[in-house]
Amino acid sequence: MATQPTHEQGELQLKIFDLRREARLRQARDWFGKNYFANTLDEAMRIAPMGSEAGTSFMMVVSYWDQACAYLNHGLLHEDLFFETSGEFFFVWERVKATVPEGRQRWSNPMFLANLEKAANRYEAWSEERAPGHVAGMRQMMKQMAPQGSKAA
């Protein structure tokens, strides 16, 4: 973006950041980072079945980031500022992207996590332009985080 962030964009970004600190969402984010390693929708459903505590944590994390990315995609957030200060959404996308196409098909919802995907794709191009190799390094680190023997590794 060629423009500077507006005061309104900065305020909205601070509100979004503040929501990340809410206790239940923080707990869900912690669970997601430690437990969500799935390459198929069936694996995902075993890890985080609908109606379970894990399923609730999963949906809290992905829906939070999909909504934050919707604000970004609709121009309510300043892209450079968001990308410079928020990398977790990309981490979340990388963890879920293998299962999303099957989920979209199974639930007849082509928009499932579409805002997250769109922002992650833009972030990857944005990051590669500014820090070549950064995304590859992040992906390598994420592989190392996966449990040994996991297909996600």
- pLDDT tens-digit series, residues 93-149: 999 999 999 999 999 999 999 999 999 999 999 999 999 999 999 999 998 888 875
Kindly tell me if the per-residue pLDDT of 153 is higher than 60: no
Res 146: pLDDT: 84
Q: What is the pLDDT of residue 2?
A: 60
Assess whether pLDDT exceeds 80 at residue 152: no
Is the pLDDT assigned to residue 1 strictly greater than 80?
A: no
The C-alpha atoms of residue 47 and residue 90 are separated, in whole angstroms, by 20
C-alpha span between 75 and 73 (Å, rounded)? 5
How far is it, in rounded angstroms, from Cα 101 to Cα 142?
A: 21
pLDDT of residue 149: 58
Which pLDDT score, from 0 to 100, does residue 147 have? 83
Q: What is the 8-class DSSP label of residue 64?
A: H
pTM of the model: 0.91
Give kind and range of the element (H or E) at residue 36: none
Tokens of 100: 């999303």
Mean pLDDT of the residues in the chain: 94
Burial of 58 per CB tally in 10 Å (0-12, 13-18, 19+) = buried
**Mean pLDDT, range 17-31, rounded to an integer:** 96
Helix (H) or strand (E) holding 22: none
